[in-house]
Amino acid sequence: MEHRWHLLLTLLVVLGISGARAADLASIRGQIQSISTQEPVTDDRLVDLWKSVTMLSPGELDQLLRTGRNTYFEQGWFELAEAYSVVRGDVTARSARIEQWHRNWYHHPASALVSRLIATEPLEGWPSAPKRVAAVLPFFGEYAEPSDALVEGLESAYRDVEATGQPVPEIALYDSREMENPEAFLRWLAQSENVDLVVGPLAPASVEAMVTLDHLPVPVIALNRFTAPGFPGAALDLASDQELGQLAARVLDVAQGPVLLLIQNDDWARSLGQRFEQVLSWQGGEVENSYMVETTQNLESVLASALGVTESRVRADRVTAIVEREVAFEPRPRPEISAVVMLTGPDLARRIKPMLDYLYAGDMPVFASSHVLGGHLDPQRDRDLEGVSLCDLPAVLNGQMENPFNALGYDAGLLSLSGAELNGGRLSLDGRTGKLRLGVGGRVIRTLACVRFKEGKPVPLPVTH
């Protein structure tokens, strides 16, 4: 260790950083080395190290990043410090750079600090204690049932908060079909209806119509994601991209090589499979092969082929024919497959997992999308998901509610009361759709609950960053 310390000081002097400052920088490297090799790493130690790293000047960071001699851990800390400092005066740009750092360094110890470092552009006029909240939703047509569930969730959240003795706002219902001119409608709500905050709209077209606005007359929590940049409000949604990103990260935590995808042969699952493969690739993973499966197939034959067990049996038959006697043989899946991911509905998943066990893949890590639960737990049938890992809404895994829109409405209620604290990314909130924080551009980032099934029950997986 003493020899390494001497080398670090020598290198820093060569870079033109000398004297006491060189010793300070070598000390920072020592802190990084300590945190990367010792467990547990406490929050205080991470914060102390971050304070030291951010004391580096832009010139020092630039020199350190160009040495080409940094360890993985050192490079990650220095790149994060650069992302944080280089656009210090622009909150949105800085947050975007930190988000990009997090995608590249997802498993780095400094990832634990990202949620604190990301500060969004504060949303304009967010009330700390709204007195009247408007639920602007499509109460007729194809979105009528989800809208009713959203309102039930919103009311449930306010009842729970009121039970603690805190004041809650009045809820006023409005049909989003009246919002032909979004800016005029929102101004009318604020000026004539005394509305402090709007929850909604839900339909994609209504949300997109508000993206073009430079200013919102009243703060808005939209309930669908927006595709164009520049939305001046907050957006809380159930889009699958957040689940897929977290599922891919979980897969890569254990997978040492390519992944086998088993996709239900339906349009929704094929689309999900394409997106998951893309997300996995972005995170540095690789799909070994994708197989379409359906309930009418001979699953044993399809899965044996996908795992390479069929070829293994053929090779054994050839050996038996050559030596002209029975050979002790146990089929094995192809060694290059390091994990299996199921993107299927509940019935198919509960047939696939037992068949994987039968085909000698019982020790292989198996993951699935939340679709395998169908929105609720079933302890008896979930025994067929033994060992399967997945990420889903906390409300589903805790048995709190089965309708995802009910959970979405509940969290919209919590956000409406906590938005002033969340504004600027200063804290997170434990909701029923996930752990919530306000991300870049106003989208609410949801960290889902991740579990592994054991004896029909979901067992929480360790929290990762």
Q: Within 10 Å of residue 425's Cβ, how many Cβ atoms?
A: 23
pLDDT digits (tens, 9 = 90+) for 66-101: 877 888 888 989 899 888 775 544 555 666 778 788
Give the residues across from 340 on adjacent strands. Answer: 260, 366
Nearest-Å Rg of the Cα atoms of the chain is: 26
Q: Is 198 helix (H, G, I), strand (E, B) or coil?
A: strand
Give yes or no for a contact between 372 and 349, defined as CB atoms under 8 angstroms apart: yes
Q: Please give the Cα distance from 428 to 60 (Å, whole number).
A: 33
pLDDT digits (tens, 9 = 90+) for 396-420: 999 877 799 999 999 999 999 887 6
pLDDT digits (tens, 9 = 90+) for 233-271: 888 999 998 899 899 999 999 988 899 999 999 999 999
Residue 144: pLDDT over 90? yes
Q: Please give the Cα distance from 150 to 174 (Å, whole number).
A: 13
**Beta carbons within 8 Å of 187's beta carbon, 6+ residues apart:** 217, 218
- pLDDT value at residue 41: 65
Sheet with 435-438, edge to edge strand ranges: 429-430, 435-438, 444-447
CATH 3.40.50.2300 positions along the chain are: 132-238+403-443, 241-368
The sign one gets for the Cα dihedral 129, 176, 429, 212 is negative
Domain 241-368, second-level architecture? 3-Layer(aba) Sandwich (3.40)
Q: What is 216-285 written as a DSSP string?
A: -SS-EEESS--SSS--SSEE----THHHHHHHHHHHHHH-SS-EEEEEESSHHHHHHHHHHHHHHHHTT-
pLDDT digits (tens, 9 = 90+) for 257-266: 899 999 999 9
CATH 1.25.40 positions along the chain are: 2-117
Which CATH number is associated with domain 2-117? 1.25.40
Window from 38-52, 142-156, 227-241, 350-364 with minimum mean pLDDT = 38-52
The sign one gets for the Cα dihedral 73, 77, 78, 80 is positive
The sign one gets for the Cα dihedral 280, 282, 284, 286 is positive
Can you tell me the mean pLDDT for 208-220?
Answer: 85
Q: Which residue has the higher pLDDT, 18 or 145?
A: 145
Fold of 132-238+403-443: Rossmann fold (3.40.50)
CA distances 185 to 192, 222, 237, Å, are 10, 15, 22
Query: Quick one: how many helices (H) and strands (E) in the chain?
Result: 17, 15
